């Protein structure tokens, strides 16, 4: 019985996971649709489409070769053929692994995007019409009795009835999926969710952290890291428990400060724990090092002949030398400190393997976040344009540079040293077979997306892994949130947000707007909206809110301004469309917060200071990591906010005695990279004296 229930749960999980990855504007090759200025000549698509003019012309030639005499059937077949151009073609062809020529045809009158049974209409109109090289017959290739692909055939020759035909090609539409009704897919124009009444926060820690990662074993614990390079393992208090972070300031999980170069724009920028960490104990750190201070800081310079950059002609900022500072990804392990990695309380600061090392041309815009893809298990690495102000060498658009890019690496299959050298890789990793530029000699195979300035905090939606959101720090006017897709170009420095960007100097050359199929931001804000001077603005990316704690922000994407100028909630409308409406929202402190939310004498307000990062735990609750401490989103009623969806009784969570305490602590540190113009130096020296709470 136990095994049976486990199998049922497993298949239900797989079903939900599959559903969650659908209904996003994506082409059948997982790339984002392109923007075309006018309607395609053959297929009735304009705006965003998955076909360019050449693909449109090829579809026209394929249609003409079918030689369909019946006008009604010809019209239907043309629409089905053109479904490959639909912005939702990835969804339309989702179940047709063996019949990729035909999309899922709507065959239910309850379909969300159709009032007609298009599958039945196709059968009734075309069943006795001869079609050469039929799309439908193509799905039967290799089967006994199937016609050759170039032979004429009728639907009635291949399927005995409409029921048989629609069992092969039909499907319904729902809130999570789409089907083809003979016309370009449109989603329900449902009334968007109302903006939240505000965010209610509680303060649970005094430490200033740059990264938070939930423990991969699913427990109520999380890893926190500081910019100087210290990682702590903390027990998280249950909602409504009145507890704080359970940490031991004297016992860090691992201390990497001997390797990490810490300064205003340098430090440990990211950490990631292998999806199977609970079994293998593998984890990774992304940080900066100084080769003048540490012999292990060695790597190729990102300014080299491959990218038409001469290091001797660079004028590095802050008096440093070109590539004196490096960006590093290193692998570590808990092996040797615990026989059970999930119970490990510390790890050795000795590198198991150097995954990646690259010299930096300037002293800013390094990004550096790393995270594992939830559905593919590959390591994603966010890299800024290298700095220098306005990306003077145009690295973000340079096809041979890894600066200003998102990379996707396989750290489970490590090539030999000779293979790494032959492939020209920057370290110990291999290239996933489905990386978009693996076979493109003009672009580096590591690249997943291009055209970013300084991506500061990216996340995958835990409910829909195909939604990969990145906040990209702007230059002069605009802060943006991008929906990252395979092979996408996000415009910098041709564009800053939605606007053309005009650099003052371009020693590295320019990229024309016509040559870039830029994908524009789905959310963002102008500097003038948050600061009258237009300077103090720098975006911090967050998460889709998937917790049950605050139902009035469920499904919204939360992000903020570094300087505490605001927090925004992005609402997708229509649902699953990839289109967002963003609302700036207020935030306040719960009256029963376990720690005071403001350190100002006599102040009762909420002072967050700098909002460095967001975090998400295994319960999907959201945290804000700030210069003034660690805050968590709690139920609205604790701040006297009205949320009609809140069930105050059900919202309360009882403390779980099964969770065990763990360790974490704070350190002194400043902030991150990604500031505009002159950087603000903030050295925060905080000690944590925390209550111990079993959660």
Q: Among 13-17, 258-262, 280-284, whose mean pLDDT is lowest?
A: 13-17
Instruction: Please name the residues in contact with 436: beta carbons below 8 A apart, sequence gap of 6 or more.
Output: 31, 447, 448, 486, 487
Give the pTM: 0.86
CB atoms within 10 A of CB 377: 14
The helix (H) or strand (E) run that includes residue 635 is none
pLDDT-based confidence at 682, cuts 50/70/90?
Answer: very low
- What are the beta bridge partners of residue 224? 212, 232
In angstroms, rounded to a whole number, what is the distance separating the alpha carbons of residues 363 and 106?
A: 55
Does 258 have pLDDT greater than 80? yes
Measured CA to CA, the distance from residue 403 to residue 367 in angstroms comes to 10
Q: What is the pLDDT of residues 316-361, one digit of tens each?
A: 776 778 899 999 999 999 988 888 999 999 999 999 999 999 999 9
CA distance from start to end of the chain: 31
Instruction: Identify the structural domains of the chain with CATH numbers, from first to last.
Output: 24-171 (no CATH), 199-685 (2.120.10.30)
Do the Cβ atoms of 106 and 113 come closer than 8 Å?
Answer: yes
Q: How far is it, in rounded angstroms, from Cα 243 to Cα 693?
A: 6
d(CA 555, CA 193): 9
Query: What per-residue confidence (pLDDT) applies to 671?
Result: 35
| Tokens linked to 386 | 């290298």
- In this predicted model, what pLDDT tens digit does every residue of 192-217 receive, in sequence order? 678 999 999 999 999 999 999 999 99
Spatial distance between the Cα atoms of 382 and 405, rounded to a whole number of angstroms: 7
For residue 139, what pLDDT is reported? 62
Confidence at residue 488, expressed as pLDDT on a 0 to 100 scale: 96
- Average pLDDT along the chain: 86
Higher pLDDT, 239 or 602: 239
* Nearest in space to 689 (alpha carbons), one of 669, 665, 658: 665
Does residue 195 have a cis bond before it (omega within 30 degrees)? Answer: no
CB atoms within 10 A of CB 100: 13
């Amino acid at each position: 019985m136990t095994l049976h229930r486990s199998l049922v749960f497993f298949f239900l999980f797989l079903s939900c996971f599959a559903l969650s990855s659908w209904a996003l504007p994506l082409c059948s090759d997982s790339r984002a649709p392109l923007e075309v200025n006018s309607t395609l000549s053959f297929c009735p698509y304009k705006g965003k489409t998955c076909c360019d003019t050449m693909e449109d012309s090829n579809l026209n030639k394929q249609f003409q070769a079918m030689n369909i005499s019946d006008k009604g059937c010809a019209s239907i077949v043309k629409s089905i053929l053109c479904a490959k151009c639909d912005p939702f073609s990835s969804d339309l062809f989702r179940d047709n692994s063996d019949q990729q020529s035909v999309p899922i045809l709507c065959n239910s009158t309850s379909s969300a995007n159709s009032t007609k049974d298009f599958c039945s209409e196709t059968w009734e109109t075309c069943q006795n019409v001869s079609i050469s090289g039929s799309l439908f017959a193509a799905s039967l290739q290799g089967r006994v009795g199937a016609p050759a692909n170039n032979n004429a055939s009728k639907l009635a020759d291949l399927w005995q009835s409409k029921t048989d035909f629609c069992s092969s090609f039909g499907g319904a539409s729902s809130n999570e999926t789409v089907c083809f009704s003979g016309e370009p897919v449109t989603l329900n124009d449902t009334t968007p969710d109302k903006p939240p009444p505000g965010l209610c926060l509680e303060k649970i820690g005094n430490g200033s952290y740059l990264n938070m990662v939930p423990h991969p074993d699913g427990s109520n614990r999380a890893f926190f890291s500081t910019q100087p390079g210290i990682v702590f393992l903390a027990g998280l208090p249950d909602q409504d428990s009145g507890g704080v972070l359970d940490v031991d300031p004297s016992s860090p999980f691992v201390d990497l400060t001997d390797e990490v170069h810490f300064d205003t724009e340098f430090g440990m920028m990211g950490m990631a724990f292998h999806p199977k960490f609970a079994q293998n104990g593998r984890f990774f750190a992304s940080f900066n090092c100084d080769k003048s201070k540490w012999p292990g800081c060695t790597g190729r310079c990102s300014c080299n002949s491959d990218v038409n950059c001469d290091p001797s002609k660079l004028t590095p900022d802050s008096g440093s030398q070109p590539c004196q500072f490096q960006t590093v990804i290193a692998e570590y392990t808990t092996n040797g400190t615990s026989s059970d990695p999930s119970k490990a309380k510390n790890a050795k600061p000795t590198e198991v393997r150097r995954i990646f090392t690259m010299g930096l041309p300037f002293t800013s815009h390094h990004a550096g976040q790393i995270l594992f893809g939830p559905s593919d298990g590959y390591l994603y690495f966010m890299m800024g344009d290298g700095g220098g102000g306005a990306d003077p060498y145009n690295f973000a658009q340079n096809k041979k540079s890894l600066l200003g890019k998102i990379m996707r690496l396989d750290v489970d299959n490590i090539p030999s040293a000779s293979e790494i050298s032959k492939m020209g890789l920057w370290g110990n990793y291999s290239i996933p077979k489905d990386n978009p530029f693996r076979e493109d000699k003009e672009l580096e195979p590591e690249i997943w997306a291009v055209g970013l300035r300084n991506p500061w905090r990216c996340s995958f939606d835990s409910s829909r892994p195909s939604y990969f959101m990145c906040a990209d720090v702007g230059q002069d006017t605009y802060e943006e949130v991008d929906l990252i897709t395979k092979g996408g170009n996000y415009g910098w420095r041709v564009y800053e947000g939605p606007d053309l960007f005009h650099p003052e100097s371009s020693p590295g050359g320019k990229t024309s707007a016509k040559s870039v199929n830029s994908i524009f931001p789905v959310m963002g804000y102008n500097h003038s909206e948050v600061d009258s001077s237009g300077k103090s603005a720098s975006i911090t990316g967050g998460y889709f809110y998937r917790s049950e704690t605050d139902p009035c922000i469920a499904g919204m994407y939360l992000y903020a301004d570094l300087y505490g100028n605001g927090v925004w909630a992005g609402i997708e409308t229509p649902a699953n469309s990839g289109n967002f409406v963003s609302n700036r929202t207020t935030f306040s402190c719960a009256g029963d917060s376990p720690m005071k939310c403001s350190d100002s004498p006599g102040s009762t307000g909420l002072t967050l200071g700098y909002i460095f990062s967001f975090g998400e735990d295994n319960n999907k609750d959201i945290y804000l990591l700030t210069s003034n401490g660690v805050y968590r989103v709690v139920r609205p009623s604790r701040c006297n906010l009205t949320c009609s969806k809140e069930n105050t009784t059900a919202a309360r969570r009882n403390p779980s005695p099964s969770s065990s305490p763990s360790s974490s602590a704070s350190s002194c540190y400043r902030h991150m990279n990604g500031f505009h113009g002159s950087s603000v130096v903030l050295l925060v020296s905080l000690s944590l004296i925390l209550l111990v709470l079993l959660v």
